[in-house]
Amino acid sequence: MAAFSVLASVFSLPLMREDAEPLLLSVLRQAAPDRRQAGLALGTAIGASIASDLARGPHISPFPGGERPGEWRPAPPFFRNGNFEDNLPFMFSGRDAVRGAAPPLPDSPRFRADLEEVRRDGVLGSATRSEAQTAAAQFWAGQSSQRGFLHLALHLLQTEPRPGGWWEEARTLSALTVALTDVATLAWAEKRFHSHWRPITAIHQGGNGVAPDPGWQPLVFTPPHPEYPSGHAADCGAAAAVLDATFGPAPREILYRAMGPIDEASRRFASFQAAAAECAASRVWAGAHFRFSNEEGLRIGRVVAMRAIQQVQALKASPR
C-alpha cells in the first residue's frame, strides 16, 4: 500500500487503474484478513509521508569549486557545473554518516600513481587498454546501474524463488531499493563535501611532478560534477552486497542486461562482486575516475548495504 500511494501521487489515475490497482488487489487477497486492515493503514500513512516529501522537493544548489590543485571545476566537453540535491538518507542520521578519508593530495605518490594509470588506460585511443576493457567502459558509462541491478534482482527472484515466498521477495526488494536510494544520497553528499577535480582537469593542468597534457581526451565524456567518490562504484557495490546476502555468493552466471531503449547489449559475470568490480574499474578505463575514488565508492556501497540488510533482517518475521 505504501508503494501504491507513492505511485498514485506521481502517475495519472487511468495508468494506476490499469497497471497498479490489479497488482495491489492481488497482493491484498493473499494477506490474512486480520492483518489486512492494519497493513493498509500503515502503508497508507507511510506512502502519504513519502508523497509529501516528494511534493516539497529537495533544496538544489550547484557544486562548490575552485582553481587550486585538487579542486573541482567544470571540465570539457560540457564546461558545466551540475546541481546537488540535499536529500536526507532513510537509514542514517545525516548526509555525513559514511564519511571516509579525503582523496590523496595532488603531490602524494598515491595520487600521481593513480593519475598516471588513468592517463594511460583512460585516454581515447589508449594503447594499453584492452578491447574487453574498452567494451566494459562504454557499457557501464551508459547504464543506470541502480535500475539495472533492480531488474537483475527481479529476474533472480523469478529464476531462484526464495523459500519465504512473497514476504521474502518484498524484504529483498526493500533492502535493495533503500540501499540504492541511500547510497546515491550519501555518495553525492561526499562529492559535494570533497569537491574533487576530474582526471581531465588534473592531466590538462599538470603540476606537482606531473607534466601537463592539454591535448589529452578520455574515452568517455566527463560528467559535469565532482569526481570523489565514484557514484558508479557506490551504486554497484551496494547492489552487489545486497544480492550476495540474499542469493548467496556461490558461483553462478549472472546476466546483467542493458536497460536503455537503444543499447540492448548485456554482460555476463561469475558473481555479483565480479559485476561490481568491473563496474568500478570501468570508470578508470573510461577516463572519468581515479582508482582511489572507485575504492571509496565501493566502501560506501558496502557500508550502506550492510545497514539495509541488518534493518530488513530485524523485520524478518512476517508482518502482523
Q: What pLDDT does residue 37 have?
A: 75
Contact 131, 146 (CB under 8 A): no
**Domain co-membership, 52 together with 97:** no
Distance CA 86, CA 181 (A): 13
| Shared-domain flag, residues 205 and 263 | yes
What is the residue range of 2's domain? 1-57
Residue 17 has what pLDDT? 59
216 in the same domain as 289? yes
Same domain, 53 and 123: no
Q: Are residues 172 and 264 in the same domain?
A: yes
Q: Give the pLDDT confidence score for residue 164 in this predicted structure.
A: 84
Same domain for 116 and 222, yes or no, is yes
Cβ atoms 118, 290 nearer than 8 A: yes
State whether 243 and 122 are in the same domain: yes
pTM of the model: 0.85
- Count up the domains in the chain and report the number: 2
**Are residues 218 and 127 both part of a single domain?**
yes
pLDDT at 84: 83
Residues 284 and 160 reside in one and the same domain: yes
Q: Mean pLDDT of residues grouped by 10 in the chain (320 residues)?
A: 69 63 74 73 75 70 93 91 87 95 97 97 98 94 83 90 86 93 96 97 92 96 95 96 89 73 69 95 98 98 96 60
Side-chain half-sphere of 292: how many Cα atoms within 13 Å?
A: 21
Give residue 262's pLDDT.
Answer: 41
